[in-house]
């Protein structure tokens, strides 16, 4: 399983100035067609910041998606490890069963819901720790939903945001980084207010 590496450079006086204004360096992960959760929010960033993650996942559910609320503080059902190609069943009691099915190369897995209204969430291994990377903003009642893990992350600075915060939109500038076909990327935030990115290796 590959390890993905992202180097983020914040140039000149920006680290000090942004931290003084209580801006967090945030990363979000794309699932299906959306970004919805702050995967990590770093407050102690410097000139050079390194992030790593792997294609290792857990699937869970919550009762409600709430813009601006923090998932870390919300009750969630027991999460189940899941691999690409597998299905997790949420039974009529709202309990997630162990994932079944043969692993496949397609970067997606499925939630089969038999337990009434719920909102799927995805955890992914980030810097050696499972963190929630995405939540469905629209719930499901019964049936199946396929969750496709896109090789894209969103980077942005946001005032007061914390790891696990749910969001519908991000005001201000964002930078989307595409890892299609590569495992290492770098981006630089320069004093002009722009960002420059590229492949590594």
Task: Identify the pLDDT of residue 192.
Answer: 58
Task: Identify the pLDDT of residue 195.
Answer: 52
Task: Identify the pLDDT of residue 68.
Answer: 95
Q: How far, in whole angstroms, is CA 51 from its chain's centroid?
A: 13
Residues 6+ positions from 160 with CB-CB distance below 8 Å: 22, 24
Instruction: Note the helical H segments in the chain.
Output: 14-20
Alpha carbon distance 115, 91 (integer Å): 5
Bridge pairing between strands 195-199 and 184-189: antiparallel
- For residue 77, is pLDDT > 80? no
- For residue 201, is pLDDT > 70? no
Alpha carbon distance 113, 191 (integer Å): 48
Write out the two tokens for 101: 């099915």
Q: What is the pLDDT of residues 13-62, one digit of tens each?
A: 889 999 999 999 999 999 999 999 999 999 999 999 999 999 999 999 99
Prediction pTM value: 0.92
Task: Identify the pLDDT of residue 171.
Answer: 86
Q: Count of domains in the chain?
A: 1
Task: Identify the pLDDT of residue 72.
Answer: 86
Strand partners, 74: none
DSSP string covering 141-191:
SSEEEEEEEEEEEEEEEEET--TTBB-S---S--EEEE-TT-SEEEEEE-T
Q: What is the pLDDT of residues 126-177, one digit of tens each?
A: 999 999 999 999 999 999 999 999 999 999 999 999 999 999 999 888 999 9
Strand partners, 8: 49, 187
Which residues in 11-47 belong to E strands, given as ranges? 23-31, 40-42
Domain that holds residue 37: 3-199
Task: Identify the pLDDT of residue 199.
Answer: 43
């Amino acid at each position: 399983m590959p390890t993905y590496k992202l180097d983020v450079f914040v140039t000149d006086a920006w680290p000090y100035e942004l931290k003084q204004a209580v801006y967090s360096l945030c990363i979000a992960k794309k699932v299906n067609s959306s970004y919805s959760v702050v995967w990590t929010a770093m407050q102690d960033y410097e000139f050079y910041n390194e992030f790593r993650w792997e294609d290792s996942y857990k699937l869970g559910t919550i009762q409600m998606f709430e813009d601006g609320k923090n998932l870390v503080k919300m009750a969630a059902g027991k999460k189940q490890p899941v691999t690409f190609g597998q299905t997790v069943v949420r039974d009529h009691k709202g309990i997630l069963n162990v994932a079944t099915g043969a692993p496949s190369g397609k970067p997606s897995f499925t939630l089969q819901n038999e337990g009434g209204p719920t909102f799927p969430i995805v955890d992914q291994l980030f810097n050696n720790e499972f963190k929630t990377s995405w939540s469905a903003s629209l719930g499901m009642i019964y049936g199946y939903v396929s969750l496709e893990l896109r090789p894209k992350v969103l980077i942005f600075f946001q005032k007061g945001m914390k790891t696990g915060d749910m969001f519908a939109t991000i005001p201000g500038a964002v930078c989307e980084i595409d890892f299609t076909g590569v495992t290492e990327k770098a981006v630089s935030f320069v004093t002009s207010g722009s960002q420059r990115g590229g492949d590594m290796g």
